[in-house]
Amino acid sequence: MSKYKRVLLKLSGESLQGAQGYGIDPEKLSAYAKEIKEVADATGTEIAIVIGGGNIFRGLTGIGKGVDRVKGDQMGMLATTINSLGLSAALETAGLDSVVFTAIQMAPVGRFYNKWDALAALREGKIAICSCGTGNPYFTTDTGASLRAVELECDAMLKGTRVDGIYTADPEKDPTATKYDTITYDEIYAKHLRVMDLTATAMCRENGMPIVVFNMDKPGNLMRLLSGESVGTLVTE
C-alpha cells in the first residue's frame, strides 16, 4: 500500500552519468528503471517523471561562450529529451510501459504534452516522462517539475538527489551540517537554502504541493518512501 496515489519524481541529469562523469551511464539508467518498476508493481503508485539535462548540456554554461540564454536553454530542453528517451527505453527493457511527453512539438520523438493525455497514461499504469521543462527559456527543470506536479494533481513532488535530504549547509562541503527531517517553505526562504530555485519552490508553496528531498542513489529508498517510512526531508507549509 502506497503512502501516495500519484507522485512526480524529479531526477537530475547528472545522476544519470554515474561514475563516468558525463553522458548517460547504462548501468545507472538500468538501476533506476528496475527500482521504478519494482515500486510501481509493489505499491500501485502512479508515477510521472521529470529529468534534468545537466549531464549533456546546461543552458547557463553557454552564456559568455557564444551561446545566448534562449538558445542555451533550448539546447538544455533537447538534453532532457535525450535523457527521457533513455529512461523510457530502460523502463521498457525492465517491463514497464512509459510515454515520453515533450513540452514543445517534437513528433515522432515524443507526444506533445497536455494534462489529459498524461493523466490517461498514468491511469493506465504507464510512467509519464515529461521532458523539455516548461517549454520556455529561463525556467529550470525544477520549475518544470513543480508545474507538472501541480498540473497532474500529484500528492507530492519527490526530488531525488545525491544526499539524503535538506541540510543546514552543503554536507559534501561542510561536515558539521545537520539534516532537517521537516522544514517549511518559509524556512527555506529565510535560511537561503538551495533546495530548488525560488520559482520552483514558490510554485509548490502557492499550490500546497509537498516536496520530499531524498537520496535516490541509495537502493530501496524510493520503495521505503512510498511505503510510508520517514526518508529524506519533507517540505510543507
C-alpha cell at 150: 501541480
pLDDT score at 60: 63
Q: Is pLDDT of 1 > 90?
A: no
Neighbouring C-beta atoms of residue 194, cutoff 10 Å: 10
Residue whose C-alpha is closest to residue 13's, from 60, 61, 50:
50
pLDDT score at 59: 61
Q: Judge residue 34's burial from the number of C-beta atoms within 10 Å of its C-beta, 0-12 exposed, 13-18 middle, 19 or more buried.
A: middle
DSSP 113: P
Q: Is pLDDT of 57 > 90?
A: no
pLDDT score at 156: 98
CA dist 31 and 144 (Å) reads 24
Q: Judge residue 116's burial from the number of C-beta atoms within 10 Å of its C-beta, 0-12 exposed, 13-18 middle, 19 or more buried.
A: exposed
When the pLDDT of each residue in the chain is averaged and rounded to a whole number, the result is 94
Q: Is pLDDT of 63 > 70?
A: no
Q: Is pLDDT of 174 > 70?
A: yes
The per-residue pLDDT for range 177-231, each reduced to its tens digit, is 999 999 999 999 999 998 899 999 999 999 999 999 999 999 999 999 999 999 9
Tell me the pTM. Answer: 0.95
Task: Indicate the pLDDT class of residue 99, thresholds 50, 70 and 90.
Answer: very high
The per-residue pLDDT for range 193-204, each reduced to its tens digit, is 988 999 999 999
CA dist 106 and 30 (Å) reads 25
Q: Is pLDDT of 65 > 80?
A: no
Q: Is pLDDT of 62 > 70?
A: no
Segments making up each domain of the chain, as ranges: 6-236
Domain at 6-236: CATH code: 3.40.1160.10
The answer to whether 212 and 226 are in contact (CB under 8 A) is no
The answer to whether 56 and 25 are in contact (CB under 8 A) is no
